[in-house]
Structure 1
């Protein structure tokens, strides 16, 4: 590299400094010092490849507009990514590696170490990222940049380690007296670093880099995530070995290294430039002609005047998934999206959607199936995902080693330095599998939590937004988000709206107030407004599709349509099975007696109804109730005819049981003409669980969830049923009707759902022998229960109903207020123009999966444990299946999957007792087990946990005894 520009000669000290300033130490750059300018150009070269082979068309178009026109965005993007580490041209960074510091001092750049130490002690966070933000802001201002351009660019530099400081934060600490930022010749050197880098990237001078437009805050957040992505790739010492000779440093040389890294890592985008699919596309993708509701959804998205939100409301089994996939393809083609994120309510519902999404994108182009990532904490136990890992290829055993040094306290893998070399299993799109990077993959299926995390004030939140922007986002079963989760959902929708991300929301049972809130949040974001009150049109029927977007003038536009269902209504007979509910002062013995009587009554019912064979689904609201009923039914019918499914099995056992349930009761499953099958489950079977039952027994739940459960009844056509079960019936239990007053509810149900909605749901249950027409009655039932009309309740219930309403409103307000503590943007700041100070007060939650989940789901805190077995204090540990470990618990490679599959989540009431649990001694050096708590069982499967005794077996799962 020739650092001398035409008409510009640097003083010898400046030239020597450019030849010496280090970006990566020898220890982190393959054994040779990596010059700072080399790392900046490496990152810019990676950014060029991101532009050419990864960014969505919509993102490139937006950046072209910011840069001043078509074709100009690429160079600006490369500059923004490369300039991120300019702050390393300061004593705050150069002093950290003794060998590099000595070399810098020898060329004549000095600092007063005592003042530097005093500054660091005063403000430990003040390091090269904050120094770079301050430095760039000053030097770009000197180059003539307008203030509005400075204001959005400097936070990208200051925030590239995961959190955005305010302008006040980035000021150098007073006690440093300028010795961290650098004084004297340091200022000339810093200016030269920016000038030389800028010229090498292709600009004549810093002034020529200045954009002509200001990106939205959402685009800024996306850009920040892409800067981090480029930096992390360019920091991989496997491909970017140190360069300590400035004569060998150039953008062309960096391009060669970047191309090698890109090819080796297998980084690829998604669809690219899709053509708008024609009428035949639906049949080509799914093998059948679209149903009326599916054709309606496709037509609605074709009519949209811009990227927006589409709310699809349709019955269970209507084909909403295929409609959303077809609509996503149209939206991606029309608005330049490069991939899709599908968010499901639970891990269990994400797994089958992973399979369906792979089949869909493979039908578009067979190359895409291998690029789909499953994103949730238990994906290792999904068989299809495991097969992808095993077929990952030569790079699957390698691992991205390190990102940055000296002041970076969060590794992208979450692995501490002493185990940094341990390989992680990888899938074909290997780079995307590290912590915080999953959403960057082109096609992603995961829990809705992954979207909610993008609305939290956490470190590296920009990576999540970078992963969502440029995609079409599909959210299924969105009604499952309660008032707490809805705070994060609406915050996320604001950012998606501002980013112009097309969004498809699916629900069978969406309350009108939820529809209104979702559309308003998205449009407020699109308009960059704190509040945007709009009147969302009510759908004229069911199934329906409601589309909303902003017109070019900034005014909201809507298109709403509805058609009839493709299936005739099911007239579902609804019966009540009263259950005696114990009072608050009942003894444990009395409670157990009443529970036994309730279980026996359900067993008697099933014995009668299934006398000629058939299938029944029983849904209990708690694991304990499901286990208790299973024990009763097993005694009546035998274990061959009864299955149990809940969340307190180990992850491996739960995956097997889920797969078995779907196999036995799923679509196109031949049913024997004799025999019976009873599946006892918890809410796992409530949504996105494609099973068909002849008969349903369910605990009372809010009406939308109750209707979701009814959706498992007579779900599949052409399924053989005994004569007695050919008419669909649901039996509702879990509460006690009382003469002249409101009903009493099982305590656990009331704790989960609250009295307010349970009372209103009980009020809409038909009288004996009455029916619900499904799906025709669904919208009216949901609207009635979630409405405010007190007249819904019988006169004798109204006083209790009013008290329950007030209690629920107070609870909702309190939960919403708690959620707001973690939101990315506080109320009143949605119209801010830049990212400065986005992490107000620091990060609100930890960045690991468990901390994030605790932040976005307002459940009682609980912990996961790994179950192992030990005969005595001196014996070796064993797995649940009896495989030997060692006296220290060391895990051989061929036993690892079995140990990891033995994870189970404890009930919240055991959390305090579980605080004393620790990893086994042999796990401390293991990358996956070193933080895992071991729960050691005796050979009988029991152990003491604080004041409790718990047991585990593969039939009942974990339970208190």
Structure 2
């Protein structure tokens, strides 16, 4: 049967309908180009081996399947939709639809593709008589049916063999059946009559192929591509489908290149010195990796590096990724970190590394919720000045789109970007396509609760299943968690009966994905070993300096040299466990008097974005790795964000009691850099020292809420007090102390207390929650349906348990009920420009910089005055903001907002302040 060119595939915003056959051929051509120029060697091998075909046969096979993705548009539901061109052939009997009230509803075209493709493939040697879970035809049906980001449920045998009988709405009349068969025959012919796969592929391979089909469809659906092909098609006027395909094949490589979809090409680096020529004297850890790792690695595997801050883990991890990527054929690179602030800083480092280490332009994407607010990333462009011998790292428009950032040759993002791949969210196949061609570096691998670690375990199972090389970096990872992560990766790679695993500290281990063998380094000496003096003070948790034995009095004593002009100037970091404590501490220290007045800064998470950025940049300029030490004394009061977000160096660190890992991270902000000619330490802080203010009585104090686990606080306090002021040898004592505090319940034997058992119960609940939320482990799946969920709500899954925060925009309402962005009432809330339905990008960016991140419970759910303006409802991001209204009276006084049980207001210095409401 000749193909009917009036069967359309694209229509919106086009001068004429675009034939469906043209779009299918375009997508097939695009998939072939992606196979040749985007997929890595490892990905091509994986797909070919997964389906039991030769690598050279894989490109044609995937092109054929990608072309099938929209064959479901050849049916009455899609062709007859009211918003389409309503072609005249719909009135012909052979193109009739099913009659009866039960068929009045439409069926989505991707569902039709899933239903009809298996039976259509039967004519080309695909088996549809076996169980659906063992049918390649059915697996291909699920793959093409999933091209809108969600997989359909597995079909039964009846539907598999005869979809028209099971679901007449697909189009059971002769015209539809014949046209679908003709489309498949055309695709099969132009793709070189690809072989029939020998077997059903592992689920990870099927997900990867789905990602490629989605990507090919998106590229072939771009407006510029479709318009160009449509013009050619109408200009030729010969309805030569093969010629159209050949034109698409010729044009596709340029389209793929224009989207910057290419695997990186790295310069040769067989040694650490070649990878980092500017490091003339590598740290011992780096030198050991450079000497031993290349001889050990023969393919994919997991490299775990544990060392304290300052031992060069980042460069060691990048070198490890270079070695693993070259050996496994996974040329891409992804670096994942726990916070947006650390991610922004790492993006700059990785970008410079990629620019000097690749031989072709390699885009480096920045991936987190506010990446578009990063000024360097937002302004990054082709006109950027490059150093001699460097390549461009600019990510273009396509790679900045939603869902596709991980497809870049190199990516730096928050850990959540990869963790989302193990949640059943729409288009997670694109995440797996991006991840499967890369070597992943997960930094700060210890920085997650039990829920986050459980998601990381599932992530590593899938990465091992896909043969993706992984590098884990950590300063304070407990042995039990390290073993769980290594075992997860090896189990995903197909290994059972796994041995005990231990990693030296400082040191590294390598788990080979192919053999399952684990090789560990000896303990590696460090030139940065130091003795950390830890002084624990038991204090009453008060902010009144007049109270003996209170927290405020002890803090004042520790900071006395900064207020004394006779003492050397210096810098001190004070870390509080809650924002209210930080705000009260800042106020007390700002009001404290002496013969010298130090500069006091406050930094915490509930400040407007612009203010956090400004203060962070100020600190980097004063105490960063290249800064000259300030002559004025400085006190910085902060919260947990100081643990990971700041590469700054203080002379002394004072901290509220926290679990040991957090305390060590905080202590790492003291004596962090070698000062050299940039300054000197004050006489009162010549050696590294951490002062811990440990509250007496109940742990944690009621004012802290549930910010930290009771057992970990108690065990940390006990460990430190039992040491009786004995210095902590870093790194020598760290591993043993971590194991003591974070020992699992079954290792504590008769030493367990009630809070230990409560901790074990809470962690078990979190792990169970993660297991429920995550997609199943790959080894247990033959069906793609559980990998996504069509009815999932946007907020129904999360990578961080309890992450119920939202962005709050403080606004100011005058006596006329007009709303402003500033207390002076000079800048009105922006509205869409005349004739536009949305705010422009710059207006949204300006709004976000004014927002404060805070728990969702802070504002009442149903309060009308806290809802974003209706005019913002169609503007992404802006529509999700919550308003914090401040009433401004005619005399300029700004009133606070009564949120029910508490009062909220934005203070220019303190950030968002929350106080109890007195009724």
Q: Do they superpose with TM above 0.5?
A: yes
Tell me the equivalent position of 1:635: 591
Structure with bigger RCO (C-alpha 8 Å, 6+ apart): 1
* Residues 724-772 of structure 1 deviation map (CA, whole Å, 9 limit, x = unaligned): 1102211111421x6xxxx643235461221111111111104543211
Measured in 2, the distance between the counterparts of 1:925 and 1:129 equals: 27
Cα contact 2:653–2:670 (8 A) shared by 1:
yes
- Equivalences for residues 67-146 of structure 1 within 5 A: 68-97=53-82, 100-106=85-91, 108-112=93-97, 114-115=99-100, 118-119=102-103, 121=105, 126-146=107-127
Aligned position for 2:620: 662
Instruction: Go from structure 1 to structure 2 and tell me whether the alpha carbon gap of 1:43 and 1:280 turns closer, same or farther (over 3 Å shift).
Output: same
What is the match of residue 621 of structure 1?
Answer: 577
Counterpart CA distance in 2 for 1:595 and 1:120 is: 80
| Matching residue of 2:560 | 607
Aligned position for 1:422:
none
> Aligned-residue CA RMSD in angstroms?
3.2
- Cα drift, residue 893 of structure 1: 7.4
Query: Are 1:184 and 2:174 an aligned pair?
Result: yes
- In the other structure, the counterpart of 1:456 is 423
> Once the two structures are superposed, what CA deviation does each residue of 1:54-102 show, in whole Å capped at 9, x if it has no partner?
2222112333444632422222222222221112222232222465444
| Inter-partner Cα distance in structure 1 for 2:17 and 2:831 | 41
Match of 1:252 among 241, 246, 252: 246
Distance 1:500-1:329 versus aligned 2 partners, 3 A rule = same
Deviation string, structure 1 residues 606-640 (Cα, Å, up to 9, x no partner): 11477422111111111111111111111126986
**SS of structure 1 residue aligned to 2:169:** coil
Query: Equivalent of 2:664, from 707, 724, 731?
Result: 707
Residue in 1 aligned with 2:225? 239
- Matched with 1:783 is 739
- Match for residue 144 of structure 2? 157
Report whether the alignment pairs 1:646 with 2:604. Answer: yes
Whether 1:577 aligns to 2:537 is yes
In the TM superposition, residue 113 of structure 1 has moved relative to its aligned partner by 5.5
Cα distance between partner residues in 1 of 2:824 and 2:360: 39
User: Which residue, 893, 896, 899 being the options, matches 1:946?
Assistant: 899
The verdict on how the C-alpha distance between 1:99 and 1:616 changes in structure 2, with shifts beyond 3 A counting, is closer
User: Once structures 1 and 2 are overlaid, which stretch shifts more, 449-458 or 570-579?
Assistant: 570-579
Q: TM-score, normalised by structure 2?
A: 0.88
Q: Following the alignment from structure 1 to structure 2, what is the Cα–Cα distance between the partners of residues 357 and 212? A: 42
**What is the CA-CA distance between 1:107 and the residue it aligns to?**
5.3
Other-structure match for 2:755: 804
Question: Aligned equivalents of 1:872 and 1:277: distance in 2?
Answer: 70
Q: What does residue 560 of structure 1 align with?
A: 520
1:825 pairs, out of 752, 770, 776, with: 776
Equivalent-residue separation in structure 1 for 2:316 and 2:874 (angstroms): 48
CA contact (8 A) 2:275 2:357 kept: no
2:726 — aligned with what? 770
Match of 2:185 in 1: 195
Within the alignment, does 1:547 sit opposite 2:547 as a pair?
no
CA shift for structure 1 position 596: 12
Q: 2:3 aligned with 1:23, yes or no?
A: no
Change in 2 beyond 3 A, CA 1:935/1:238: farther
SS of the equivalent of 2:226 reads: coil
1:131 to 1:924, Cα distance in 2 relative to 1, 3 A? closer
1:291-310 to 2 correspondence within 5 Å? 291-302=283-294, 303-310=296-303
Q: Report the secondary structure of 2:42's partner residue.
A: helix
Secondary structure of 2:446 counterpart: helix
| 8 Å CA contact retained: 1:293, 1:563 | no
Instruction: Describe how 1:123-522 pairs up with structure 2 within 5 A.
Output: 126-146=107-127, 148-168=135-155, 178-203=168-193, 208-212=194-198, 214-241=200-227, 242=230, 243=233, 247-249=239-241, 250-259=244-253, 261-262=255-256, 265-272=258-265, 275-284=268-277, 286-302=278-294, 303-365=296-358, 368=361, 371-388=363-380, 428-522=395-489
Q: Which runs of 5+ in 1 are unaligned?
A: 1-9, 394-425, 583-589
Cα 1:892/1:80, change in 2 over 3 Å: closer
Q: Secondary structure at the match of 1:312?
A: strand
Matched, 1:905 2:840: no
- Number of the residue aligned with 1:676: 633
2:732 maps to 1:756? no
Shift in Å, 1:458: 1.1
Q: Which residue of 2 aligns with 1:35?
A: 19
1:119 CA displacement: 3.8
State the 1:185 CA deviation: 3.9
Give the match's secondary structure for 1:232: helix
Q: Residues of 2 paired with 1:667 and 1:636: CA distance? A: 30
**Kept in 1: contact 2:533–2:688 (CA 8 A):** yes
CA contact (8 A) 1:45 1:258 kept: yes
Structure 2, unpaired ranges of 5+: 128-133, 386-392, 834-838
Q: How many residues align?
A: 869
Q: Residues 808 and 881 of structure 2 are in contact (CA less than 8 Å); yes or no, is this contact kept in structure 1?
A: yes
Cα distance in 1 between the residues matched to 2:863 and 2:302: 44
CA distance in 2, matches of 1:256, 1:185: 32
8 Å contact from structure 1 (residues 41, 251) kept in 2: yes
Q: Is the 8 A contact 1:883 1:895 kept in 2?
A: no
Alpha-carbon deviation of 1:142?
3.2
Q: Residue 592 of structure 1: CA displacement?
A: 12
Give the direction of change, closer, same or farther, for the CA distance of 1:183–1:429 in structure 2 (3 Å limit).
same
For the 8 Å contact 1:92–1:128, the answer to whether it is kept is yes
Give the stretch that moved more between structures: 816-825 or 678-687.
816-825
Give 3-state SS (helix, strand or coil) of 1:267's partner: coil
